[in-house]
């Protein structure tokens, strides 16, 4: 009974924004459990943690779309016969048949603040790309950000 009361009290103290954020994180973790999995090779983090920490929106609005891009990149590498290397630092004696999920997550996470900051230029260039969920691949996200950066400097 005490636990029920404490959980109810915690729920009442959460703001709507906090509930939205926790819901987005929970939904993404359920949809992409491999990305949410905490790994000792990644210092106890999961790939979703990389995205959560990089969120420029303060409400995790890019989390689901970015997680989908990471998952698709990982699946594409596995279809090519590559094996995931679960580590932060790339090994010096790495073979040609491995890929880094951590690297994919870090690269995607590094683009999110740029994507967010350049949204004004992205909206001008092409309306569908203002929603990260409409972006199909990491390469497409990268191209959108680079095009917006060029447009900003013109």
pLDDT digits (tens, 9 = 90+) for 91-115: 888 888 999 999 999 999 999 999 9
Q: Is the pLDDT of residue 124 over 60?
A: no
Cα separation, 107 vs 104, in Å, equals 5
Domain that residue 101 falls in: 2-153
**Is residue 43 left, alpha or beta, with left meaning phi > 0 and alpha meaning psi from -120 to 50?**
left
Q: Are 102 and 88 in contact (CB under 8 A)?
A: yes
**Bridge partner residues of 98 (DSSP):** 83
Q: Is the pLDDT of residue 46 over 60?
A: yes
What are the residue ranges of helices labelled H in the chain? 2-13, 16-31, 33-36, 47-54, 63-79, 101-117, 119-125, 138-153
Q: How many domains does the chain have?
A: 1
Q: Is the pLDDT of residue 13 over 70?
A: no
Q: Which of 95, 103, 111 is nearest to 143 (CA)?
A: 111
**Bridge partner residues of 83 (DSSP):** 98
pTM, two decimals, is 0.83
The percentage of residues in the chain with a pLDDT greater than 70, rounded to a whole number, is 86
Q: Is the pLDDT of residue 8 over 80?
A: no
Q: Are 146 and 153 in contact (CB under 8 A)?
A: no
Cα separation, 56 vs 62, in Å, equals 9
Q: Is the pLDDT of residue 35 over 80?
A: yes
């Amino acid at each position: 009974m005490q636990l029920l009361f404490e959980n109810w009290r915690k729920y009442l103290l959460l703001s709507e924004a906090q509930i939205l954020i926790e819901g987005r994180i929970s939904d993404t973790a359920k949809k992409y459990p491999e990305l949410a999995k905490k790994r000792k090779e990644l210092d106890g983090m999961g790939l979703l943690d990389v995205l959560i920490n990089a969120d420029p929106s303060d409400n995790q609005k890019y989390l689901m779309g970015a997680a989908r891009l990471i998952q698709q990149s990982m699946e594409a590498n596995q279809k090519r016969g590559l094996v995931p290397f679960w580590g932060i630092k790339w090994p010096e004696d790495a073979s040609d048949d491995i890929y880094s999920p951590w690297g994919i997550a870090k690269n995607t996470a590094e683009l999110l603040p740029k994507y967010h900051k350049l949204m004004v230029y992205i909206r001008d260039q092409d309306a569908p790309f203002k929603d990260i969920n409409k972006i199909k691949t990491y390469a497409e996200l990268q191209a959108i950000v680079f095009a917006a950066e060029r447009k900003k400097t013109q």
